[in-house]
A and B are shown apart, each in its own frame.
Chain A
Amino acid sequence: MNKALRNPLVFTLFVLPALFLFMMFFIYPIFSSLYYSFTSWNGVSDTVKFSGLTNFKKALGDERFWISAKNNGLFICFSVFIQVPLIVLFSLLIANVKKLKGLYKTAVFMPSIMSTAVIGILWGFIYEPNIGLLNKLIGLVGIEPIYWLSDERFAMISILITNAWQWTGFYIVMVLAAILSIPGELNEAAMIDGATGVQRATRITLPLIMPIITVVIMLSIAGAMKAADIVIVMTKGGPAGSTEVMATYMIKYAITNFKYGYGNAIAVLIFIFTLLVTALYQLLIARRNERIEY
């Protein structure tokens, strides 16, 4: 077996199937998308007309595209500054419970295995202006009903909360695994030295789980850049385009209008923006927290 793998020919043969699939499902679509982004193809025609940078100029000069990009930015900010701290907090709490840890883990993980369509409907009921849970609750303290999904001021935050609810549990399980893998002696030693629970959490646990937190942030950023399904299910990008994100903009303004060239240009822009944001994050923050040595 070892001899066989040392033979370059055999080695290549082993790599070929994976390479073939990788080329077919990843490399080819990327390059074909890049190619079509420079054309004014309608998605049907056999002839494809080269249009240079027209599609990119159009997208970058469209106010609606920038509103969508800004909303993707809001997704990122909400994930990084609100969702991630909550993930860490809940992970620390669950890690320290003495009983029913499995139940808590299952309960928080549950939303992430539900389909976005189901979550959209579920939260649609919660946000329902007349009989929804949220308005019933705020009604108890005398607040007038809020039209969560139909009012421009509240629609985006409503989506962000729902999206966070869906994915928080998934990340909690990841962070929890990291917390539980920290050697027990470290905490025991700290306890003997008189460290309080908060001190142990902030001085020992948090620094040791930083690598996994950076991964969580990274995944949140990537997820935020490609968000689309939750927006489609909850508001369809409305009211009046106020909750549009780049992916829904691409569907609405390009794909459904037979502008596949333009659609591909938007896809390329999403790819470039995602690459830039994640690269910046990697270079400036994530690299510093890559490895922990005990």
Chain B
Amino acid sequence: MKKSITMILSLIFVTSALLTACGGNDKVATNATNKEKDTPEVKTEEKVSEEPFEMTIRHTQIGADKQKRFAILEDVVKTVQQDVPGLTFKLDGVDSDVNRKEKLRGEMAAGSTPEIFELFGSPDSKIYAKENKLLDLTPILAELGIQDKFSNLDPFTYEGKVYGLPIGGSGEGFFYNKGYYESKGWKAPTTFAELDQQLADIKADGKVPMTGASKAGWVPLMLANHLWSRYAGPDVTNKFATGEAKWSDANVVQGFAKYKEWVDKGYFKKGELGFEYAEYTTQFTSGEAILMYDGTWKSSVFKAGQSGEGLIGKVGFFNLPAVDGGVGDQTALMRDVNNGYGFSASVANDPRQLAAVTSFIKNFYNEKMQLRGLVEDGVLPSMKIDQAVLNENITDGLMSEIVAVLNASQSSFPAFDSLVQADVTTEISNIQIQSLIGGQTTPEKMGAAIQKVQEEANAAVE
């Protein structure tokens, strides 16, 4: 009998312990908050403002390549902690893809996002903003007087309100091996015909003209996107979702055809469909390929201690030249400001957290930090900075060339994936571009196939 009782008691104890472990402590926290609320107002304010509190920053600055960006964040964190009494930041670093596609989404659904987190602009921020998961930053920007300081907040704007702020910007163009170009007596091409001729000559010289790594569809699509925007106009991608333009339009198809022509002529490294993005850079830094079409973020590779250290001072940058018969501004550059910070909507309920967020924005989004990002990390500013100040701070030759290209372009357009529906992005980046490279489709068939998905997506929205 005694044994039975002991057994039952032990079992109840174990079960209770298990259930307690599985439960959360939300209620306890709520009780504590209620208790605080019950105390007299003035006393509470004084007491709360002195009490330590913690906030979490979810960032993606992990790994050796992002050390400089992380150092900037750490400095901002220190300043904000000094600014806001009692505040301690907890830094939660995760891989950017994991943050964007898994963690943040789950947390958004569960309503448990960190107070501050890295956020992808379009379409992610708009989806979260629509569901009231993000803090409206419009009043904070007005309070700090920086609402007009950003070059472009469109990816983070929903129904006229701003829900996120871009960390930096990027532009896409050709990095080229200056040493090779000089040995041939060449200069960066100024016309498309010149570029075409250089590609042919590099090929004839036994080198790989352009880096190629298309295991992930977005990599070849950077150049393809620029090509169809040259032939059909920089604003053409904007018109697909509204039905004003079609992927099967002759000008758009001409862009695909040009890409295909370059593939067929062997201008990209053979077997590119099996190579990862990392290989893309290696082909260039090793000297195997002479040109690399990539985002300006890649300039950080050509700094001391990085993989492209051997090419410091030997890399140049140029915009895709104008094409014959192209539509619209032929200097237009593909530019993006999609990576930024967002803030949990719950912050609005806590004045101290709101003060911390305001301080974070004030200390992160200013000229000093933007210049640090540019100089130390090679990330273009997301805020408007006086040209004279920029020139004064840029000592890096490559960065000077990049800024010159940006200044020479009269307009810009965002990458297609922030303009078309997700289904269309999946179709073009996972199927069509790889089929085009692999020779399983033609530019015309590709245009028609994407248009079919586009029409389905447009109809679904209606």
Q: A interface vs B, CB < 8 Å?
A: 1, 3-4, 7, 10, 13-14, 16-17, 20, 24, 42-46, 64, 127, 129-130, 147-152, 235-241, 252-253, 255-259
User: Which among B4, B131, B430 is the interface contact of A10 at CB below 8 angstroms?
Assistant: B4
B377 within 8 A of A: no
B51 → chain A, closest Cβ, in Å?
Answer: 31
A235→B215 contact, CB < 8 A = yes
Does B105 contact A129, Cβ atoms closer than 8 Å? no
Residues in B with CB closer than 8 Å to A237 are: 430
Which residues from chain A contact B7 at a C-beta distance below 8 Å? 1, 4, 10
Listed A/B pairs (13) with beta-carbon separation below 8 Å: A7-B4, A10-B8, A14-B11, A129-B271, A129-B274, A130-B271, A147-B271, A149-B215, A237-B430, A240-B434, A241-B434, A258-B123, A258-B422
Is B368 among interface residues, defined by CB-CB distance under 8 A? no
Check: B391 CB closer than 8 A to any chain A CB: no
CA distance A13 to B123 in the complex (A): 50
| Residues of chain B within 8 A of A64, CB atoms compared | 431
Q: Which of B105, B131, B430, B432 contacts A46 (CB 8 A)?
A: B131
Return A42 CB to nearest CB of chain B, in Å: 7
Instruction: Collect the chain B residues with CB atoms within 8 Å of residue A236's CB.
Output: 215-216
Kindly list 8 other residue pairs between chains A and B, CB separation below 8 angstroms, not including A7-B4, A253-B426: A4-B3, A46-B131, A149-B273, A150-B273, A151-B438, A152-B440, A238-B217, A239-B435
* Distance in Å: Cβ of A118 to nearest Cβ of chain B: 15
In this complex, the member of A240, A253, A257 whose beta carbon has the largest number of chain B beta carbons within 10 angstroms is: A240
Q: Does B32 contact A (CB under 8 A)?
A: no
B66 at the interface (CB under 8 A from A): no
| CB of B48 closer than 8 Å to a CB of A | no
Residue in A20, A42, A149, A238 with the greatest tally of chain B CB atoms within 10 Å: A238
A4 to B2 CA separation, bound complex (whole angstroms): 10
One digit per residue, 1 when the CB lies within 8 angstroms of any chain A CB and 0 when it does not, for chain B 1-29 equals 00110011001101100110010000000
Across chains A and B, which 4 residue pairs bring their CB atoms closest together, nearest first? A150-B274, A150-B273, A257-B422, A149-B274
Would you call B4 and A4 a contact (CB within 8 A)?
yes
Contact A257–B423 (Cβ < 8 Å): yes
B residues less than 8 Å from A240 (CB atoms): 430-432, 434-435, 438, 440
Name B123's closest neighbour in chain A (CB-CB).
Answer: A258
Given contact pairs A10-B7, A239-B273, A17 touches B109 in the complex (Cβ within 8 A): no
Check if A13 sits within 8 Å of B434, measured CB to CB.
no
Q: Could you tell me the distance between the alpha carbons of A217 and B45 in the complex, rounded to whole angstroms?
A: 67
B274 engages A16 (CB within 8 Å):
no
Residues of A within 8 A of B270 (CB): 129, 147
The reply on B187 being an interface residue by CB < 8 A is no
The docked-state distance in angstroms from the alpha carbon of A238 to that of B109 is 30
Distance in angstroms from A182 CB to nearest chain B CB is 42
Given A44-B105, A236-B216, A238-B430, are A4 and B8 also a contact pair (CB < 8 Å)? yes
Is B239 interfacial (CB-CB < 8 Å)?
A: no
Type the 1/0 row for B421-462, where 1 means its CB is closer than 8 Å to any CB of A. 011001000111011011010000000000000000000000
Which of the residues A150, A235, A258 comes within 8 Å of B127, measured between beta carbons? A258
B residues in contact with A16, CB < 8 Å = 15
How far, in angstroms, from A250 to B72 measured CA to CA in the complex? 38
Contact B127–A42 (Cβ < 8 Å): yes
Q: Which chain B residue shows the least CB distance to A237?
A: B430
Q: Is the CB of A44 within 8 A of B440?
A: no
Least Cβ distance of B36 to chain A in Å? Answer: 28
Could you tell me the distance in whole angstroms from the C-beta of B225 to the nearest C-beta in chain A? 18
B115 at interface (Cβ–Cβ under 8 A)? no
In contact, A241 and B273 (Cβ under 8 angstroms): no
Also in contact, A17 and B273, with CB within 8 A (given A1-B3, A240-B435): no
How many Å from the CB of A255 to the closest CB on chain B?
7
Contacts of B275 in A (CB 8 A): 150
CB pair B109–A44 under 8 Å, yes or no, is yes
**Residue B172 lies at the interface, judged by CB distance under 8 Å to chain A:** no
Whole-angstrom distance between the Cβ of B285 and the nearest chain A Cβ = 17
- Cα(A93)–Cα(B45), bound, Å: 78
CA distance A238 to B438 in the complex (A): 11
**Contact B438 A152, beta carbon cutoff 8 Å:** yes
Q: A44, B434: Cβ atoms under 8 Å?
A: no
User: Is B272's CB within 8 Å of the partner chain A?
Assistant: yes
The verdict on B128 contacting chain A, using a C-beta distance below 8 Å, is yes
CB distance from B127 to the nearest CB of A (A): 6
* Inter-chain contacts of B131 with A (CB < 8 A): 44-46
Q: Tell me the complex Cα distance, A168–B324, Å.
A: 58
The listed residue (A20, A43, A238) touching B273 by CB distance below 8 A is A238
Check B108 for interface membership: any CB of A closer than 8 A: yes
Taking a contact as CB atoms closer than 8 A, the residue among A14, A17, A241 that contacts B430 in the complex is: A241
Cβ of B15 and Cβ of A17 under 8 Å apart? Answer: yes
Q: Enumerate chain A residues within 8 angstroms of B434, measured Cβ to Cβ.
A: 238-241
Cα–Cα, bound, A57→B422 (Å): 20
From 188 to 226 in chain B, residues with beta carbon under 8 angstroms from any chain A beta carbon are: 214-217
Q: Which residue of B lies closest to A1 (CB)?
A: B3
Residues of B within 8 A of A258 (CB): 105, 123, 127, 422
| Beta-carbon contact of B127 and A44 below 8 Å | yes
The distance in angstroms between the C-alpha atoms of A78 and B384, with both chains bound, is: 59
A7 vs B7: C-alpha distance when bound (angstroms) = 12
> Is B133 at the interface (CB under 8 A from chain A)?
yes
- Collect the chain A residues with CB atoms within 8 Å of residue B123's CB: 258
B184 sits at the interface (CB 8 A): no
- The docked-state distance in angstroms from the alpha carbon of A16 to that of B275 is 52
